[in-house]
Amino acid sequence: MPATIRVWNVEATYERGIWRSTDDPLQALLQSFVDPREALAGPDAEARHAAWVAARLGGTLLRHDGSPDALRPTSISAPPAEAAPARSPGSGLGRLLRRLLTSS
């Protein structure tokens, strides 16, 4: 279900991982916050993501009738999706280069 926010007196709608707005710079900014994993996060992921972005930018979440919805105070320091999986020790480019240099 699409979620609508109002940021800087401009309304934007988030649906299926895409932000739509009449203000192109705002739309680009909002689109930069999208996490591709959100599409698989469940039925209320759009509303959670829109609420997080609205809180992060100082905007308001709008109900379907257009009235503002009170945002719960949340920590806006971390995105709603889970953190990236922990890397195993010794993985990465350094390990690859060591393996290539020692294999000859």
The pLDDT tens digits along the chain (104 residues) read 788 999 888 999 988 888 999 999 999 999 998 887 776 677 788 888 888 888 888 888 887 666 676 665 554 555 555 556 666 666 778 888 888 888 76
pLDDT of residue 17: 85
Runs of H (alpha helix) within 5-92: 24-32, 45-57
pLDDT of residue 11: 92
pLDDT of residue 19: 92
pLDDT of residue 82: 56
Edge to edge, the sheet with strand 10-15 lists 18-21, 10-15, 3-7, 60-62, 68-69
* Residues 93, 30: Cα–Cα separation, whole Å: 32
